[in-house]
Amino acid sequence: MIGQLRKIYPSLLVYTTEKGSLDVRYKWFMTEDNSIIGIHQKELSDKDQALLAAFLTPYNVAFPPMTNDELRWKKAVTHIEGHPPFTFPLANPYRFIYFSINKNQITPVFFHEAIQELFEHPVPILWENEFEGLIIEEQNASEDNPSYEQMIDVLMSDLYVKITFFVGPFQKSFDSIQPYYRSVIRDAKKVFAYSDKTVITYIDAVPYLLIDQIDPAFRNELSRNVLQEFIDDEDTLKMLETFVHSNLNISETAKELHLHRNSLQYRLDRFFEKTGIDIRQFHQAMPVYLAMLAKE
């Protein structure tokens, strides 16, 4: 295909990582096999651009040029009809970390550079658009897993960038990489619709994902039946949520809420007397937590 296009557009060139940045005088496209090609704008009419965009994916110059690693990961997550899945030797388990940044806070090029500074080795980044994408992290037994909470602190303090991370589970093969790729993006968007946390792991997300599968009528029923008269009591709900997040630890919860331990104990007893639910027991705390999520 590239050879045929070059006959029509002699300026066509294929991007390689050795060429550095993308020439802004060219219009750039990604082919079906994830090659990046450019055609000089002087050879393209509006009609030409519309025609090319029908079977090629326009490639935004605002994005950093893709590294060889990023190109092969892009091929691995992209399904091409009629072609076998693309794989390459996998040295370590890997996971996808979805990120979302506020629009117009930082350019993809600058963000890419900032993220690389926070890892011990270069990490591939696959962009969905100019403000969200996936970081690909490989697990290395000789290194500690990075702290995404600390990364957010650094990005906020140094660059004033607001960012959220959804940390997907590790995978050991390419067997289901395309569904995994799609599910991380889908699940992240669902979870952040419920939670205002800046970092959520897949395990932490499970309750949110379960609630999302429940129809609205049952969500309301669950909240009413479990929370009962406390369904609109914001102080009690905050206490219950903090208690669950503090691993059902009374001392930690009291400290977090600036309450005396006895005062917190009294409130938990009162919730038990009114509802018959002893939230100090894990098997009863979980339904309460799900009911609070359903209410949201």
The pLDDT assigned to 230 comes to 94
**pLDDT top residue among 157 and 244:** 244
Q: Which residues in 78-117 are b (16+ Cβ under 10 Å) and which e? A: beeeeeeebeeeeeeebbbbbbbbeeeebebeebbebbee
Chain centroid, CA 241 distance in Å: 24
Residue 209 located in a structural domain: no
Alpha-carbon distance 103 to 190, whole Å? 19
Q: Quick one: pLDDT at residue 264?
A: 93
Q: Tell me: pLDDT of 17 over 80.
A: no
Do 240 and 267 fall into the same domain? Answer: yes
Contact between 232 and 210 (Cβ < 8 Å): no
Q: Who has greater pLDDT, 11 or 23?
A: 11
195 and 225 in a single domain? The answer is: no
Residues 263 and 149 in one domain: no
CATH number at residue 265: 1.10.10.2840
3-class DSSP state of 37: strand
**Co-location of 289 and 179 in the same domain:** no
Find all residues with CB under 8 Å of 227, minimum gap 6, and list them.
237, 275, 288, 291, 292, 295
Task: Please tell me the predicted confidence (pLDDT) of residue 137.
Answer: 94
Residue 207: inside a domain: no
Is there a single domain that holds both residue 195 and residue 150?
A: yes
Asked if pLDDT for residue 286 goes beyond 80, the answer is yes
| 178 and 83 together in one domain | yes
Q: Which of 195, 136, 211 is nearest to 167 (CA)?
A: 136
72 and 177 in one domain?
yes
Residues 72 and 188 in one domain: yes
How long a stretch of residues is the chain? Answer: 296
Average pLDDT over residues 42-67: 85
Helix or strand (DSSP H, E) at 132: strand 132-138
Its domain, for residue 22, covers 2-59
Residue type, position 282, single letter: F
Summarize pLDDT for 58-101 with one digit per residue, the tens. Answer: 887 678 888 889 989 998 998 776 778 888 888 899 999 999 99
Return the pLDDT at 130. 84
pLDDT tens per residue, range 114-136: 899 888 889 999 999 888 999 99
Query: What is the CATH number for 73?
Result: 3.30.70.270
- 157 and 267 in a single domain? The answer is no
Q: What mean pLDDT is reported for the chain?
A: 89
- For 208, residues 6+ apart whose C-beta sits below 8 A from its C-beta are 190, 191, 194, 195, 200, 293
Q: Kindly state the percentage of the chain with pLDDT values over 90.
A: 55
| Judgement on whether residues 185 and 223 belong to the same structural domain of the protein | no
Judge residue 188's burial from the number of C-beta atoms within 10 Å of its C-beta, 0-12 exposed, 13-18 middle, 19 or more buried. buried
Residue in the block written with tokens 């009591």:
233
Question: What is the structure's pLDDT at 81?
Answer: 67
Lateral strand order in the sheet of 132-138: 125-129, 132-138, 94-101, 163-167, 199-201
Determine contact, residues 149/61, Cβ cutoff 8 Å.
no
Residue 39 belongs to some domain of the structure: yes
Q: Taking a C-beta distance cutoff of 8 angstroms, is the pair 131, 100 a contact?
A: yes
